[in-house]
Each structure stands twice: as structure tokens, then as C-alpha cells.
């Protein structure tokens, strides 16, 4: 259920802070977006993907992977930010890391899409701050989509004949596998192949 409140009463905001319910809240140009906590399936996939990326991509290449970090438009923190499920950061962009938030766009973001969430509504923001790639993975089917920033807009990438989508940022391929799993591997490195929950 979606709701719009012209002004959120302070007692509601205080309750959300006190109980931790505000953990996934985002601020969109001064407008508070209160997202529910992700379910267990979402969390399992997010954790498994983060671990795989850290072991097979980030550590060997001197890169970084974080989950649920505040990503702000430069100079606007804390009034305009989103919280992707995962972010991929190469050394060329380490300077945006302000610990509590990123002041600008990481190389790639991963959004695990739940029914009726605001994944696609975040695309304009991600384009504005220069995120090169967006990975959208359906929480229930594990079907991935990949978008590449071109000319200030995202172009959806098409899978190859075997169903693989290729990330230029991570030099990785992913596709939906049977039994609602996500299959992932580094390009040309079969020994990195994994089926994620």
C-alpha cells in the first residue's frame, strides 16, 4: 500500500528512528520515501551476491562492494539520496566514499526488485549522478536485467544466445537459472561460476 502525507508528524519519525524502521528510508529531493524492510529471500540473495562479488571481483581487482549505502547527489546530503541494495566501486571512484554516504555515483548499483517497489523510479537519479550500470534482479524469479548509461539515459542490454547478460563494470555474466537461482561467473572463468539462492 502506498500513502502520501503532506507532513509526517514528528512522533512517527521519532518512532521509526527508535525502532530502526527508518533503516531503508530514502530522501528524494526532500521527500521522505519509507520502504519496508526486505524479506528473507531478498536478504539471502543480497548477501550471497555481495559475498561472491567481494571474493571474485572486488578483492582481486582492488575494488569495493557495499550493501545498503546512502548514495547522494553531490553536495546534497542528506536531502537527496537513494539506498541501492549493492554498489560496485572501482578505485577511480573511491573519492566519493564519505563513510556514511557516497557523494556521487558508484560505478554500478544492484537493485533487487520486490513487487511494487520503486526500482525503476530511481533510474533518473542514478543517471544524473553518473552510475554506469544498473543491475535489476527480480526477487522472486531471479531474472536479471542490466542497463548501461549511454548519452545520459539507460539502455537495456540484451542477453546473448545462452541467456547471459554481461557487465562491463565487473566483467561478469549473470542469468536466471532453474529453481529460482541466479547464475553468475566472471567472463571466461568457469571456476568462478556459482548458483546463488
Segments making up each domain of the chain, as ranges? 38-196
Residues 35 and 117 sit within 8 Å (Cβ to Cβ): yes
The pLDDT value given to residue 2: 64
pLDDT of residue 133: 98
pLDDT < 50 positions in the chain = none
**pLDDT attached to residue 178:** 85
pLDDT of residue 193: 97
The C-alpha atoms of residue 91 and residue 61 are separated, in whole angstroms, by 9
Average pLDDT over the chain reads 92
Residue 194 near residue 175 (C-beta atoms within 8 A): no
pLDDT of 12: 77
H/E element, 15: helix 10-19
Whole-number pLDDT of residue 141: 95
CATH superfamily of 38-196: tt1808, chain A (3.90.1570.10)
Amino acid at each position: 500500500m502506498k500513502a502520501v502525507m503532506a507532513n509526517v508528524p514528528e512522533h512517527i519519525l521519532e518512532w521509526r528512528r527508535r525502532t530502526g524502521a527508518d533503516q531503508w528510508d530514502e530522501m528524494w529531493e526532500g521527500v521522505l520515501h519509507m520502504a519496508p524492510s526486505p524479506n528473507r529471500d531478498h536478504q539471502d540473495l543480497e548477501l550471497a551476491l555481495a559475498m561472491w562479488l567481494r571474493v571474485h571481483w572486488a578483492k582481486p581487482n582492488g575494488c569495493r562492494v557495499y550493501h545498503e549505502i546512502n548514495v547522494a547527489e553531490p553536495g546534497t546530503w542528506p536531502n537527496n539520496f537513494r539506498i541501492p541494495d549493492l554498489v560496485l566501486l572501482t578505485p577511480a571512484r573511491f573519492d566519493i566514499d564519505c563513510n556514511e554516504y557516497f557523494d556521487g555515483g558508484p560505478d554500478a548499483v544492484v537493485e533487487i526488485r520486490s513487487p511494487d517497489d520503486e526500482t525503476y523510479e530511481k533510474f533518473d537519479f542514478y543517471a544524473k549522478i553518473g552510475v554506469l550500470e544498473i543491475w535489476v534482479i527480480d526477487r522472486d524469479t531471479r531474472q536479471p536485467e542490466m542497463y548501461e548509461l549511454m548519452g545520459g539515459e539507460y539502455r537495456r542490454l540484451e542477453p546473448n544466445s545462452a541467456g547471459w547478460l554481461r557487465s562491463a563494470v565487473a566483467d561478469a555474466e549473470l542469468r536466471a537459472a532453474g529453481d529460482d537461482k541466479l547464475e553468475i561467473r566472471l567472463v571466461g572463468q568457469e571456476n568462478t561460476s556459482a548458483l546463488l539462492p
